């Protein structure tokens, strides 16, 4: 018996891969794993019969892709917008195409995914969790060359508050987690040699638990989740 159908984006590696494994450990969940790299996801989740993997690109037609993927699922209970793209560049040197790519993946694609999945979120209470960054959290320490990334993530924070305001009293709640450093390929590529105080599996446990429970008490909240970033 499946009680919850859960969508996780960015499931091919890092936090998203660990999230799928964590959520699929409960056999009452069915997890829809999304990323561009279908082959890697199929290898990752081969042994998990309650995981379905689909190729999905936030830079392409999000609504058409997700509609065909989810047509056989009657409802979605939890959406975790985990996929992300980090581009590093100083402000004078940011190229427009990379700025656009950052906003396509970290913001526009997420908004379109929410628009497309909302009609499927028909449970008495469903939840959307947006994964943002500590760099997008107002008043946090800022690091150079991350403006194209964290400004898109900041838009996601603002979207979370606006979504909750527009859907006050509705059955779908949305919250946003601003993560500090987690030891993933994204972090190693951006900050070679830096050692994060948190592993993807540990963060995935926290996000999974948050996604399944916190919406009974929280809506429209932007929450810093960090050991390392003031
Ligand atoms: N690691 C950290 O320290 C840290 C800190 C703060 C916030 N975060 C946020 O946490 C989330 C997970 O980060 P991570 O460190 O696990 O990153 P990661 O290892 O780079 O994984 C990113 C995931 O996003 C997917 N993705 C990238 N471009 C995509 C696209 N165009 N369409 C669909 N999927 C796409 C990738 O899959 P494919 O390449 O297969 O498509 C991959 O599965 C991200 O939102 C990130 O910004 C991470």
Output the six-digit token pair for 207.
């996000």
User: For 73-126, how does the pLDDT look when each residue is reduced to its tens digit (9 = 90+)?
Assistant: 999 999 999 999 999 999 999 999 999 999 999 999 999 999 999 999 999 999
The per-residue pLDDT for 1 is: 60
Q: Tell me, yes or no, if the pTM score tops 0.95.
A: yes
Ordered by start, the domain boundaries in the chain are: 4-225
Q: Among the atoms of ligand 1, which is closest to the Cα of residue 15?
A: 16
Q: Among the atoms of ligand 1, which is closest to the Cα of residue 81?
A: 45
Q: How far is the CA of 1 from the centre of ligand 1 (A)?
A: 31
Options 3.40.50.720, 3.40.50.920, 3.30.930.10, 2.40.50.100; CATH of 4-225: 3.40.50.720
Nearest 5 degrees, angle CA 185-CA 110-CA 224?
60
Q: Which of 103, 109, 178, 184 to mutate to test the pocket of ligand 1 (most atoms within 8 A of CB)?
A: 184
Separation CA 86–CA 186 (nearest Å): 7
Q: Which residues are catalytic?
A: 132, 149, 153
């Amino acid at each position: 018996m499946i009680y919850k159908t859960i969508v996780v984006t960015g499931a091919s590696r890092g936090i998203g891969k660990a999230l799928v494994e964590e959520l699929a450990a409960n056999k009452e969940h069915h997890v829809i794993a999304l990323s561009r790299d279908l082959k890697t996801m199929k290898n990752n989740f081969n042994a998990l019969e309650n995981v379905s993997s689909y190729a999905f690109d936030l830079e392409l037609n999000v609504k058409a892709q997700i509609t065909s993927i989810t047509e056989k699922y009657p409802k979605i209970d939890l959406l975790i917008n985990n996929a992300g793209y980090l581009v590093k560049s100083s402000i004078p040197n940011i190229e427009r195409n990379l700025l656009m790519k950052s906003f396509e993946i970290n913001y526009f694609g997420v908004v379109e995914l929410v628009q497309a999945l909302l009609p499927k979120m028909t449970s008495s209470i469903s939840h959307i969790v947006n994964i943002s960054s500590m760099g997008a959290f107002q008043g946090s320490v800022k690091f150079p060359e991350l403006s194209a990334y964290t400004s898109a993530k900041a838009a996601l924070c603002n979207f979370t508050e606006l979504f909750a305001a527009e859907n006050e009293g509705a059955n779908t709640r949305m919250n946003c987690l601003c993560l500090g450093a987690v030891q993933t390929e994204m972090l190693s590529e951006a900050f070679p040699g830096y050692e994060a105080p948190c592993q993807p599996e540990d963060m995935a446990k926290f996000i999974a638990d948050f996604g399944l429970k916190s919406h009974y008490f929280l809506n429209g909240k932007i929450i810093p989740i960090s050991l390392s970033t003031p």
